[in-house]
Copies of this chain bind each other. A is one copy, B any other.
Amino acid sequence: MTHLIDRSVIDAHNARLQRDLDSDYAHLGEQLARRGIDIETVRAQVAAFGVAIPSWGVGTGGTRFARFPGQGEPRHVFDKLQDCGVIQQLARATPTVSLHIPWDKCSDWNELRQTASAYGLAFDAMNSNTFSDQKGQAHSYKYGSLTHTDAATRAQAVAHNLECIEIGQKLGSRALTVWVGDGSNFPGQQHFRRAFDRYLDSSAQIYAALPSDWRMFLEHKIAEPAFYSTVIQDWGSSFLAAQALGPKAQCLVDLGHHAPNVNIELIVARLIAAGKLAGFHFNDSKYGDDDLDAGSVSPYRLFLVFNELVAAAHEGVPFEPAYMLDQSHNVTDPIESLMTSAAQVLRTYAQALLVDRQALDAAQDGNDAMTATHLLKQGFQTDVTPILQRVRLDAGGAIDPVGAYRASGYRQRVAGERPAVVGGSGGIV
């Protein structure tokens, strides 16, 4: 296994923190024992939990107004993988990477797979891109891709998705995530029902090409880049499509893709019950598809999503959600944001595991809202930091990943290797 960060840096860092961790962990164990919870069981569950990193997440993101690159921006998929390797080495919560085609195209997929393996990384869902044009592309996606009125453009978009599957098979991926921005900016521009039919038709061709052990994740979004209507605008449309396609098609939930005020955890429950929950793109949002760091603005909302997941698992509901971070890191070092966000996801999972499900059942049955909600809060208010730290430490990572990362000088090192990127305007000009 390739060590991207010198072990001695991590060890020295951990050494300074371990005494406090031991004290905190012991006291937390005592507290949890009073509630009838074995901290070791929780720790084992958290240790087994992983969330994927999107390859594009390690580069600095931007808006339509501008992008402000940082130092040492990754130049290609190998640089991106290396950054993901650092994240996994320190934070031990992100064992897989999700690629985006064509952004991550390379000449030797076998080499890529071996490189990943050396970093302790495997490949999660593949992501296709039919929301922007690539150089030399025969047909433009200006007016749509899988739903375009022109058959040749749809065929091109389908073919691109098939290529993503093909690449994914070489890398050991087992899922294809399909997000299309197709929609319209003017009332009347698009025939709603026909566009949806074209979506189903194109998607069926992709579905037909799925290997038997693959799944197809349909991702809905209320708006952007289309600002009047979007073809797969909500979970209802996503569900209709997934149902039409077949059992391997499921609905992916991105936390920032909903209308204001929508109760996302309730949608998650519906999709679980319908056997159609594909998984998640984790991030946080205050205004729209803000792609902020997971749990950075609404940590309790994230907890309520995990509460649904843990409850379903507790009740033996069969489901297998895929977890990925999907964030835009505009003002932070992406590596720091991704380590912190992965930890936030694990923190939230751990907190949801602490909820007394039996007592909750009783409170719900008895309509004791006060007790029921207190049981959730009790989990959420518990500071599970010691569990997270211990999981990382046990796995060879850093008790404090950001601290160790800063101490390592990794960013400065790659800034010397990778040429500076000039910022500029975003999509508007």
Contact call B370/A63, Cβ cutoff below 8 A: no
Question: Closest residue of chain B to A347, judged by CB?
Answer: B381
Other-chain contact of A188, B20, B336, B373 (Cβ < 8 Å): B373
Instruction: Contact check, B290 vs A68: say whether CB atoms are below 8 A apart.
Output: no
What per-residue 1/0 map shows which CB atoms of A362-376 lie under 8 Å from chain B?
A: 011111011011111
In the assembled complex, how far is the CB of residue A213 from the closest CB belonging to chain B, in whole angstroms? Answer: 27
Known interface pairs A370-B336, A424-B132; A227-B285 also in contact (CB < 8 Å): yes
* Interface bits A13-37 vs B (CB < 8 Å: 1, else 0): 0000000100110010011001000
Contact A273 B196 (CB under 8 A): yes
Q: Is the CB of B331 within 8 A of A369?
A: yes
* Residue A266, interface by CB 8 Å: yes
Report the bound CA distance from A20 to B67 in whole Å: 52
Confirm or deny: A181 has a beta carbon within 8 angstroms of a beta carbon on chain B: yes
Whether B427 and A61, one on each chain, are in contact in the complex, defined by CB atoms closer than 8 angstroms, is yes
Query: Is there contact, CB below 8 Å, between B224 and A296?
Result: no
Q: Is A299 an interface residue (CB 8 A)?
A: yes
Q: Mark A28-53, 1 if CB is under 8 A from B, else 0.
A: 00110010000000000000000000
**A3 at interface (Cβ–Cβ under 8 A)?**
no
Q: Give the contacts of A171-210 with B (CB-CB under 8 A).
A: 181, 184-194, 196-197
**Residue A112 at the chain B interface, CB threshold 8 Å:** no
Q: Which residues of B contact A229 (CB under 8 A)?
A: 263, 266
Chain B residues whose C-beta falls within 8 Å of the C-beta of A312 in the assembled complex: 193
A370 close to B185 (CB less than 8 A): no
CA distance A258 to B266 in the complex (A): 15
How far apart sit A217 and B300, CA to CA, in the bound complex (Å)? 31
A358 to B296 alpha-carbon distance, docked (Å): 21
Contacts of A224 in B (CB 8 A): 63, 65, 287-288
Please, how many angstroms separate the alpha-carbon atoms of A370 and B187 in the complex? Answer: 10
A144 to B113, CA, bound (A): 40
CB-contacts of A299-337 with B (<8 A) = 299-301, 304, 307-308, 311-312, 317, 328, 330-333, 336-337
With a cutoff of 8 Å between Cβ atoms, the chain B residues found around residue A285 in the complex are 227
Q: Are A270 and B236 in contact (CB under 8 A)?
A: yes
Known contacts A233-B266, A429-B56: does B367 contact A331 (CB below 8 Å)?
yes
Q: How far is the CA of A352 from the CA of B64 in the complex (A)?
A: 35
Residue from B227, B288, B427 within 8 A of A427 (CB atoms) = B427
Given contacts A27-B27, A196-B273, A296-B187, A64 and B373 within 8 Å (CB-CB): no
Evaluate contact between A56 and B428: CB separation under 8 angstroms. Answer: yes
* Residue ID in chain B nearest A136 by CB atoms: B422
- A196-B273, A292-B185 as given contacts; A135 in contact with B422, CB under 8 Å: yes
Nearest-neighbor residue (CB-CB) of A301 within chain B: B298
8 A Cβ contacts from A205-255 to B: 222-225, 227-230, 233-237, 239-240
| Inter-chain contact A367/B186, CB cutoff 8 Å | no
- A262 with B259: CB separation less than 8 A: yes
Q: Does A66 contact B (CB under 8 A)?
A: yes
A185 touches which of B272, B311, B331 (Cβ 8 Å): B331
Closest to A189 in B: B369
Q: 7 interchain pairs (CB within 8 A)?
A: A66-B141, A66-B225, A188-B360, A188-B363, A228-B286, A298-B300, A425-B427
